Amino acid sequence: MRPCSTVMHLLLRCMRGCCRRSRMPRSLRRPLSYIKLIFKSLYFNSLTNSEVVFDSMLEPVFWMVEIVTRWFGMVFVFLVVALTSSVIFIAYYCLLPLVLQTYSPGWIMWHICYGHWIIVMIAFHYYKATSTPPGYPPKMKTDVPFVSVCKKCIIPKPARSHHCGICKTCILKMDHHCPWLNNCVGHYNHRYFFSFCLFLTLGCMYCSISGRNLFIDAYNAIDHFRHMEAEKQGVPVTGIGLLIGIAPSEGVAGKEVSQPPYTNKDRMFHKSIIYMWVLTSTVSVALGALTLWHALLITRGETSIERHINHKETKRLAKRGKVYRNPFSYGKLNNWKVFFGVEKRSHWLTRIFLPSGHTPYGDGLTWDIYPLKKDMMPV
């Protein structure tokens, strides 16, 4: 409070001194008076602190981010669909023929079954995450208990609800607004969002690990033929790997075999392998970190927004010698049961590892507090 007040006081003194030294024209006096009034409103407000001033300064930045995210939401969705489709096309056009030619029947069945299962899970959960509304509080007066009133919507806000500046409405159990979904992540599509991130990470890791040797061979092939084109002379080929498919340097009757032409089809084949491996490896690292973060939040029974709120409450109560407990956490295992909607043992398979469109636990308006029900779903 003191540093903020000192800065405001110095700014007012500078502005007052400028007005005294030079006579301002009437056209500038009114804007200057308005600016002085703004500074005085911040200076004489008892609730003003450094955080309020900092948020006020960053408000134009937040406003621009909201506008860009709102208008370019469909562009982000198109990028997700286009990049995912490109990897699937390369897998079918380039990798599947190699798998059928080189692997044993057992490995062929594994790659085909696992690859198609991952594709189905990614497509299903992404479609559901983008098309499912996150959930909204009732606009009319009801008997549902609420914790506050939204200052922007001017409607009662139930517990765990927050206002989204991009969607311009309150969201039930809001986690965040995801531009890659062009949708808010809330009560009704949180599971779809997390499952999409999880299975997309598993799919990218699968492509990255299984295509590592192919990537090395493709990179060596492009590098080898680049040097061959630079030298512009015939050089005996000594074998570069599986992807090149070139005969060794010793041919029939002890004669060297000349290098076959490096066509545009071969070049595009190798570049596609490199593109797929670099893209899937990068996404698996970045998205894997995001998935682990959300898994930690689910284990604690909180959302991304509640993580910051709970952290502040923990520090505030710690100064008073008290311990803060998250009222919406039912225990590590029960938090996962509530999140995935597991009500019996078979649901661990049918509702997690298979496409399922079941609704989440509860209505998002009222929540059981941990002292009342410690074991939500005894499975």
> What positions carry a catalytic annotation?
178
| Structure tokens belonging to residue 314 | 């923990």
Q: CA-CA distances (angstroms) from residue 208 to 6, 102, 204?
A: 56, 19, 6
Distance CA 313, CA 214 (A): 51
Q: DSSP code of 254?
A: G
| Structure tokens belonging to residue 224 | 């080898």
Burial of 308 (0-12, 13-18, 19+ CB in 10 A): exposed
Query: Please, what is the end-to-end C-alpha distance for the chain in angstroms?
Result: 52
Distance CA 339, CA 327 (A): 15
Distance CA 173, CA 362 (A): 11
Distance CA 277, CA 284 (A): 10
Give the chain's length.
379
